[in-house]
């Protein structure tokens, strides 16, 4: 995803002139798109919000092997949930990729009002799922989020690619037979 190109500036320029908390507030659902557009830049300049949304939408696709891995996990009875810092724009991603075919969009920051790696959100996830932390697997591409999950007692895996994820899950006892009719107790 090339957000800096859609805004016609380098990432350094963007970081220097964007509002310090607007995006985080948007991710937490504290402000809506109208307010995001109004305060996105510290100096109040206008920008192409629809172009930014298109850039976000166009920037998402399945990473090689991930859709097959999700399908196998679902077919083998594993319960999976999105645990994401996405703003309400997660709906655009859902519309494009149909992730709900494999998982529930249960833990979105824009709905919960909290973001990873806040320790409270991990506690909330465990309470909602009514599961012991050692029976839960958290997968994220950002190590600080994985470390926060581990601090909560949750098995954490840093995502690199589908093959390494399958290997890491196997080490945790997640099975990958083609069909398993028994419901597994792990939640991902």
CA distance 50 to 23: 16
Could you tell me which residue, 185 or 105, shows the higher pLDDT? 105
The structural domains of the chain, with segments of one domain joined by +, span: 3-58, 66-171
State residue 7's pLDDT score: 72
Nearest in space to 84 (alpha carbons), one of 109, 59, 121, 57: 109
CA distance 165 to 153: 19
Please determine, for residue 181, whether its predicted confidence score (pLDDT) is greater than 60.
no
Condensed to tens digits (0 to 9), the pLDDT of residues 114-167 reads 999 999 999 999 999 999 999 999 999 999 999 999 999 999 999 999 999 999
CB-based contacts of 133, cutoff 8 Å, min separation 6: 126, 152, 153, 154, 155
**pTM of the full structure:** 0.85
Given its phi and psi angles, is residue 44 left (phi above 0), alpha (psi -120 to 50 degrees) or beta?
left
CB-based contacts of 23, cutoff 8 Å, min separation 6: 36, 40, 87
CATH of 66-171, one of 3.40.50.2300, 3.40.50.1000, 3.40.50.620, 3.10.129.10: 3.40.50.1000
Q: Where are the alpha helices (DSSP H) in 63-182?
A: 66-75, 90-97, 109-112, 119-129, 143-151, 162-171
Overall average pLDDT of the 91-98 stretch: 97
Given its phi and psi angles, is residue 17 left (phi above 0), alpha (psi -120 to 50 degrees) or beta?
alpha
């Amino acid at each position: 995803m090339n957000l800096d190109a859609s805004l016609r500036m380098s990432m350094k320029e963007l970081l220097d002139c964007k509002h310090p908390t607007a995006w985080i507030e948007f991710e937490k659902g504290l402000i809506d798109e109208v307010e995001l557009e109004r305060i996105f830049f510290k100096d109040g300049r206008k920008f192409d919000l629809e172009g930014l949304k298109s850039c976000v939408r166009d920037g998402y696709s399945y990473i090689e092997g991930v859709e097959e891995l999700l399908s196998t996990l679902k077919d083998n009875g594993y319960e999976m949930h999105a645990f994401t810092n996405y703003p309400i724009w997660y709906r655009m991603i859902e519309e494009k990729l149909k992730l709900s075919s494999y998982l529930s969009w249960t833990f979105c920051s824009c709905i919960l009002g909290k973001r990873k790696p806040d320790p409270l959100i991990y506690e909330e996830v465990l309470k909602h799922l009514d599961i012991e932390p050692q029976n839960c697997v958290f997968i994220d591409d950002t190590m600080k989020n994985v470390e926060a999950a581990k601090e909560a007692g949750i098995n954490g895996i840093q995502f690199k690619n589908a093959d390494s994820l399958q290997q890491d899950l196997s080490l945790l006892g997640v099975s990958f037979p083609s069909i398993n009719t028994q419901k597994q107790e792990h939640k991902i």
